[in-house]
Amino acid sequence: MTTPARFVAFCDGSALVNPGGPGGTGLVVLDRSRQALRFGGTRWVVDGPYAVTNNRMELRAVLEALDGLPAGEQVEVISDSRYVVDALGKWIQGWRRKGWRTAAGEPVSNRDLIEAIDARAREFKVRYSWVRGHAGHAVNEVVDQLAQSAARGVTGPDEAAVRAALRAESFLGAEGPALVPRPSAPP
């Protein structure tokens, strides 16, 4: 991807007890071409047959961020999770070749979510980027707060806080995009 992606998706996840939850996801998705913004978080108390874990919430945040985006577009997914960035951007090719086994021969953890993200990501031109967590990156701090708030079942950062964070990291000018409400779809 040489030009800036149309969509920039900041994602984070949190599990208050790891494993066991509850957990939450946080996301901020900016559509640069239409000047639209969507953000929010989802609380997860159960995750089907799997324990709620931090890594599952990190992956779920990516899946939620990709939901609803139009096929064929460029998307940059930004996460403070090396696990997410490396799993989706590097390790997945080797896991497929090895029959979904790790280098140690163990089954790949969270395969269901990794495969779901991969299937959805194939509709786009996706680049996964890492940002250091808890290091003052304003948008990453906001998605962390969204994920933590969702996990706790309390209200997270509002539109003004999201816009301020995007402005602080030069993703928005003074006017900023229109807000696109994020439909809530808890598990």
Q: Is 12 a catalytic residue?
A: yes
Of 26, 41, 144, 156, catalytic: 144
Of 13, 21, 24, 26, catalytic: 13
Neighbours of 13 (CB within 10 A): 34
Q: Is 176 a catalytic residue?
A: no
Of 12, 31, 76, 141, catalytic: 12
Q: Is 137 a catalytic residue?
A: no
Strands 36-44 and 178-179 turn out to be: parallel
What is the Cα–Cα distance from 96 to 15, expressed in whole angstroms? 28
Identify which of 156, 88, 83 has the alpha carbon closest to the alpha carbon of residue 119.
Answer: 88
Q: Is 136 a catalytic residue?
A: no
Of 106, 134, 136, 175, catalytic: 134
Q: Is 134 a catalytic residue?
A: yes
Q: Is 86 a catalytic residue?
A: no
Residue 166 tokens, joined? 């995007």
Of 47, 76, 80, 141, catalytic: 80
What is the Cα–Cα distance from 67 to 25, expressed in whole angstroms? 13
Of 31, 47, 58, 76, catalytic: 58
Q: What is the set of active-site residues? A: 12-13, 58, 80, 134, 144
